[in-house]
A and B are shown apart, each in its own frame.
Chain A
Amino acid sequence: MKVFFFGWPSYYGGADTKAVHLLKLLSGHVDITVIPNSPGQLQESCWTQRLDEWGVNYATLESLPDRLDGVALAMCNSPFLSSGIYSTARRRGLRIVWSSEMMWHHPFEVDLIKAGAIDRLLYVSEIQKKALNYESFCDVPTRITGNFLSVDEFPFVERPRDLPLTIGRLSRADPLKYPEDFPVFYEALALPDVRFRVMAWSEELAQKYRWHRFDHRWELLAPEAEPAVEFLQSLDLFVYTLGHRFTESWGRSTVEAMLTGAIPLVPAGHHFASLIVHGESGYLCSDFLEFQSYARQLAEDPLARQGMSRACRRRAELLNDPETHRAVWLEALNV
């Protein structure tokens, strides 16, 4: 099987991060060529070195033979649709597999699907399937492929028992992802001597919360100010409240956090119940008072906290069995 992946890996943003792990997962099992939107990305040695390690090819579409055989896979790559890249790929013989990754349709997505431009559609979760509901307007075959994380990329770190808690979050700097009351919610948990760490912060977020006086407890880091893994390893609790108009289609950063040993406290709903066993590997909270109660229990019982931290790692490892994920992907890409 030949897969032409349209996009480029990155450590920022769910879909591009997903690409890193997916390429690693499938390398050696299928022939992969990564085709970036911008030729300049082929000069990013940090990524080309990794692709070389995995035996993954990379090239511009123009540099490839006129006639291609295989599958074109694009994940959350809007220009793939809007700039007509899909059309070129199709004309050159590729079957098109598209994964939105979002809870909404990208520009042109619906029209192109209706026009027969896409051969297979991928969902990441049931909740995303419910939102996008391709079946309601087309008969293009769909698959749920989920999300794979290479567990080696997020080593577990035992948290010290004798230090004050650090709570925080990592997500794309999208104001929609942050609840209206974000900083006051964290502070209202009223944990003793707590520190707050947030990555990736932006000017837009600073503007949204300009009413708040962020004091010495807060550390607001720019995107990629630290490697994601080091940032997550610095957190005891991953408290991930979300904006009221935002639904998390999967929850990649939550599982990354769990792999490092950070305990997730997340709102009920979304896809989180599939990721977290409530009370064993984190908490699904339906109310502020639940967030507060669980956070305080964890703050007051370092031994229990360490136990749950290890359980988070085990749970996240279970969710990321490479054989299982590879089989799902190979079937999905067999168009």
Chain B
Amino acid sequence: MSEPSMCYWSVADGSYAQMMTTCIMSARRVGVATDFHVWTDHSIPGAVCHPSGSYEHRNYLFKFDFLLKAAELPYEYLVFLDADNFFVRHPGRLLDQTRDAPIHVCLESDCTQPNNVRPDWWGCPLSRYVQLMRDCGVLSRSVFNTNAGFWIVHRDVARRFVDLAMEFWEYCNCQGFPFTEEAPLAYVGHMLLGNPYAHTLAMNREIWASDWTGVFADRLPDGSSWNFTDYMSGDNIPVQSAIVHCMRSKKAMVAAASPIRKWPTY
């Protein structure tokens, strides 16, 4: 059976276009030759750029709209990256992440754990979040959250993916919880992954992790191992991911887009 085709894609306007430039440069630097498609209002070196036009930024739900545009591209798998991702090494066979599921969503914290120290996610009490997921058909004992900086979708499931995501979002909105794109993304993960436990961060830490605590704050990741802190429990696990979602390094990402900027060595 032939290897399925894939591309990276993103939506990046304003300063995010510069971050995307850095993201793609970092990918090329470690030998990633895969196509990048970006919906943007700028020209981004190394990317196939598509006009983003004006769109509603609220709650980041635009990602789902643009997924349907990306699904028209001639690739079987569509790998979404937020602009503030940085490659420190080649991620290898990225599609292995899907484990034959039509999507991969990196499930992070188990919101059912009694030892969670954070009581809520996006203002929703964890017990309520779990109940919302149950109401919409999630059966797994563990119910996870996610960070929406990296996910993979097979183009043939894109429409269903978006429908499920928006059904969940609408339901939560009616219950008084107008989530960002992350909760519906986590929901779709639970519905489409087959074995959600195979898609947790702990099981996939060599590929991608989100530096939400700012281990690399204001600088670019250097490829070293670092501690990922579980958003809910506060537990630490060591990670050395090929792609770092350096969400606390946005200024450094913008600055690195300049050709005279010195990049870290690793």
Asked if residues B102 and A188 are in contact (CB atoms below 8 Å), the reply is no
Q: Which of A181, A211, A267 contacts B191 (CB 8 A)?
A: A181
| B191 neighbours in A (Cβ, 8 Å) | 179-181, 244
CB distance from A71 to the nearest CB of B (A): 39
In the bound assembly, the distance between CA atoms of A180 and B164 in angstroms comes to 10
Residue of B nearest to A285 (CB): B139
Q: Which of B142, B157, B198 contacts A188 (CB 8 A)?
A: B198
Cβ proximity bits A199-222 to B, threshold 8 Å, 1 near / 0 not: 000000000101111010000000
Residues of A in contact with B, size category = 20 to 34
| B141 neighbours in A (Cβ, 8 Å) | 286-287, 289
CB distance from B161 to the nearest CB of A (A): 9
| B99 neighbours in A (Cβ, 8 Å) | 184, 188
Query: How would you classify the secondary structure of chain B's contact residues: helix, strand, loop or mixed?
Result: loop
| B194 neighbours in A (Cβ, 8 Å) | 181, 184-185, 187-188, 288
- Please tell me if B140 contacts chain A, counting CB pairs below 8 Å: yes
- Please tell me if A292 contacts chain B, counting CB pairs below 8 Å: yes
- Please tell me if A67 contacts chain B, counting CB pairs below 8 Å: no
B residues 144-202 with Cβ under 8 Å of A?
A: 154-157, 160, 164, 191-198
Cβ proximity bits A251-290 to B, threshold 8 Å, 1 near / 0 not: 0000000000000000110000000000000000011110
Asked if residues A180 and B139 are in contact (CB atoms below 8 Å), the reply is no
Residue of A nearest to B193 (CB): A181
Asked if residues A213 and B195 are in contact (CB atoms below 8 Å), the reply is no
Q: Which of B101, B136, B155, B198 contacts A244 (CB 8 A)?
A: B136
CB distance from B4 to the nearest CB of A (A): 9
| A188 touching B139 in the complex, CB below 8 Å, given contacts A180-B160, A211-B154 | no
| A208 neighbours in B (Cβ, 8 Å) | 160
Residue of B nearest to A207 (CB): B156
In the bound assembly, the distance between CA atoms of A244 and B140 in angstroms comes to 12
Asked if residues B101 and A287 are in contact (CB atoms below 8 Å), the reply is no
CB distance from A248 to the nearest CB of B (A): 14
Q: Which of A179, A211, A292 contacts B195 (CB 8 A)?
A: A292
In the bound assembly, the distance between CA atoms of A279 and B164 in angstroms comes to 34
| A213 neighbours in B (Cβ, 8 Å) | 1, 100
Asked if residues A184 and B100 are in contact (CB atoms below 8 Å), the reply is yes
Asked if residues A289 and B137 are in contact (CB atoms below 8 Å), the reply is no
Residue of A nearest to B155 (CB): A211
Asked if residues B156 and A210 are in contact (CB atoms below 8 Å), the reply is yes
In the bound assembly, the distance between CA atoms of A181 and B198 in angstroms comes to 14
CB distance from A44 to the nearest CB of B (A): 38
| A267 neighbours in B (Cβ, 8 Å) | 139
Q: Which of B100, B154, B156, B197 contacts A288 (CB 8 A)?
A: B197
Asked if residues A288 and B196 are in contact (CB atoms below 8 Å), the reply is yes
Residue of A nearest to B158 (CB): A211
Asked if residues B102 and A184 are in contact (CB atoms below 8 Å), the reply is yes
Q: Which of A184, A187, A215, A287 contacts B140 (CB 8 A)?
A: A287
CB distance from A176 to the nearest CB of B (A): 12
B residues 54-101 with Cβ under 8 Å of A?
A: 99-101
CB distance from B212 to the nearest CB of A (A): 27
| B157 neighbours in A (Cβ, 8 Å) | 211
In the bound assembly, the distance between CA atoms of A212 and B100 in angstroms comes to 8
In the bound assembly, the distance between CA atoms of A288 and B102 in angstroms comes to 17
Asked if residues A286 and B100 are in contact (CB atoms below 8 Å), the reply is no
In the bound assembly, the distance between CA atoms of A229 and B139 in angstroms comes to 30
A residues 43-87 with Cβ under 8 Å of B?
A: none
Q: Which of B137, B164, B193 contacts A184 (CB 8 A)?
A: B193
Residue of B nearest to A213 (CB): B1
Residue of B nearest to A241 (CB): B139
CB distance from B47 to the nearest CB of A (A): 26
| B140 neighbours in A (Cβ, 8 Å) | 287-288
CB distance from A298 to the nearest CB of B (A): 18
| A185 neighbours in B (Cβ, 8 Å) | 194-195
CB distance from A242 to the nearest CB of B (A): 10
| B1 neighbours in A (Cβ, 8 Å) | 213, 215
| A292 neighbours in B (Cβ, 8 Å) | 195
Asked if residues A184 and B197 are in contact (CB atoms below 8 Å), the reply is no
In the bound assembly, the distance between CA atoms of A305 and B192 in angstroms comes to 30
| A180 neighbours in B (Cβ, 8 Å) | 160, 164, 191-192
B residues 130-144 with Cβ under 8 Å of A?
A: 136-142
Asked if residues A188 and B156 are in contact (CB atoms below 8 Å), the reply is no
Residue of A nearest to B76 (CB): A211
Q: Which of B102, B139, B196 contacts A211 (CB 8 A)?
A: B102
Asked if residues A244 and B193 are in contact (CB atoms below 8 Å), the reply is no
CB distance from B237 to the nearest CB of A (A): 20
A residues 169-204 with Cβ under 8 Å of B?
A: 179-181, 184-185, 187-188
| A245 neighbours in B (Cβ, 8 Å) | 137
| B197 neighbours in A (Cβ, 8 Å) | 288-289
6 A-B pairs with the lowest CB-CB distances in the bound complex, closest first? A244-B137, A184-B194, A188-B195, A211-B156, A188-B194, A211-B102
Residues of B in contact with A (beta carbons under 8 Å apart): 1, 99-102, 136-142, 154-157, 160, 164, 191-198
Apart from A181-B193, A185-B194, A211-B157, list 6 A-B contacts with CB within 8 A. A184-B194, A187-B100, A188-B99, A188-B195, A211-B155, A212-B100
- Sample of 14 A–B contacts (CB below 8 Å): A180-B164, A184-B194, A184-B195, A185-B195, A188-B99, A211-B157, A213-B100, A244-B136, A244-B137, A244-B139, A245-B137, A286-B141, A288-B196, A289-B195
